[in-house]
Structure 1
Amino acid sequence: MTTTALTRASSQSRSHRLLATLASILLGMSLVYFAGFSHLELVHNAAHDTRHSSGFPCH
């Protein structure tokens, strides 16, 4: 491979990692928002119990 090809492959790999990271953050924030503000008591309580079982204070 030439230097140009390696640079291009590295740039694509970096952009794919960045895209995957941003998508993961967005998905995680959406799940936290959904569970935290859900009107479904089962979903909210499951998230609440999970926070307590991991030792994370929530209130």
Structure 2
Amino acid sequence: MVTNSASTAIGLSASKIIPLGMTALLGLFIVGFVGFSHMEVVHNAAHDTRHSLAFPCH
């Protein structure tokens, strides 16, 4: 059985587009929600998490 490697490569890259796009959208939603949240609990939880990971936040 002979398969076309070019079509296989295109199929694999196309199958990765949706998961990568959804991951990017989820990340942007999380950063936007936490970064601009007016709820103090959400902001403080994110702030404490950044400090626990030694990530500079201010």
User: One fold, TM greater than 0.5?
Assistant: yes
Identical aligned residues as a percent: 47
Q: What are the ranges of 5 or more consecutive residues in structure 1 without an aligned counterpart?
A: none
Question: Post-superposition shift, 1:23?
Answer: 1.2
Which residues of 2 match residues 29-44 of structure 1 at below 5 A? Answer: 29-44=28-43
Q: How far does the alpha carbon of each residue in 1:24-45 deviate from its partner, in whole angstroms, 9 at most, with x for none?
A: 0111111011011111111111
Question: Post-superposition shift, 1:7?
Answer: 4.1
TM (norm. structure 1) is 0.79
Note if 1:13 corresponds to 2:3.
Answer: no
TM (norm. structure 2) is 0.80
Q: How far does the alpha carbon of each residue in 1:6-28 deviate from its partner, in whole angstroms, 9 at most, with x for none?
A: 54343222112122112101111
User: What is the match of residue 49 of structure 1?
Assistant: 48
User: What is the match of residue 2 of structure 1?
Assistant: 2
